[in-house]
Amino acid sequence: MFVLSSDRKGAIAEAKIAAAAIELGISVLRPITEHARYDLGFDVGEKIVRVQCKWGRLDDEGAVVQVQLQGSWLSPTAGYVRSSYSEEEIDLVAVYCHPLDRCYLLPIALVAGRRAIFLRLTPPKNGQRACINLADEFEFSGAVAQLVEHQSGTLRARGSSPLSSTPSSPEVLRVGANQFRNHFGYYIERAADGNEVFVTRRGRPYVRVLPVEPRLQLVAA
């Protein structure tokens, strides 16, 4: 049985993700130098976003796409060094799952500092709804469309996690109560950055989350 090496998996994932973006009309760029923290650049009009490509492994039950988020490089003094990604290094993580032949796009705000993330293809059998990531929310085509719309400066009202974690101007975000609960920390951070977050129930505005002025700063003890 032929087994793909890690390098081959990475090359396949990068090629599949680039092809998916090109099919959607996105110009794709690659860095000239090796060992950059991002693999591709997506030209979305107003800026080029940095994309790290990852291979997504399907679990044995076929219910979860598992994504390892740490990168590694060879240090002359410490050998291979592994570290997670930050908002200063990349803007998005794109994932290719070979058994599904499907790509996903994740915002850096969701993956920064994490070792791994799990995208569920089906809801948990125990009915859990909080602290899970449903793969459908990060489907590549829909996520790219939202990214292009965001970068073009169009004011959006949307229910899933925004793909840019550092917007250039305040936004008005609309999110369902279940989505807000599942990604509470993310939307709190968006509000703290100056955005208004409207939480809806049955499609109607229910509460509004606003930042405090001035923003509170966390100080290490």
- Assign residue 57 the CATH number of its domain: 3.40.1350.10
Question: What integer is the mean pLDDT of 135-142?
Answer: 89
State the residue range of the domain holding 36: 6-141
pTM of the complete model beyond 0.85: no
Residue 135 maps to a domain: yes
Closest CA to 169 of 148, 157, 155: 155
Whether 210 is covered by a domain: the verdict is: no
What pLDDT does residue 193 have? Answer: 78
Find the farthest-apart pair of alpha carbons in the chain and give their distance in angstroms, rounded. Answer: 61
Is residue 36 domain-resident? yes
CA dihedral 153, 158, 164, 165 (to 10 degrees): 120
Whether 207 is in a domain gets the answer no
160 confidence band (pLDDT: 50, 70, 90): very low
Segment 5-63, tens digit of pLDDT:
888 999 999 999 999 999 999 999 999 887 788 999 999 877 899 999 999 999 988 89
CA distance 71 to 27: 25
Domain-located, residue 191: no
Count of domains observed in the chain: 1
Judge residue 37's burial from the number of C-beta atoms within 10 Å of its C-beta, 0-12 exposed, 13-18 middle, 19 or more buried: middle
Residue 80 lies in a domain: yes
Measured distance CA(169)–CA(150) in Å, rounded: 11
Q: Are 40 and 51 in contact (CB under 8 A)?
A: yes
Alpha-carbon distance of 132 to 105, in angstroms, equals 16
Residue 185 lies in a domain: no
Distance of alpha carbon 28 from alpha carbon 18, whole angstroms: 6
Q: Is residue 78 part of a domain?
A: yes
| Token reading at 89 | 């290094």
Each residue's pLDDT tens digit, 167-189: 445 678 788 887 787 777 777 77
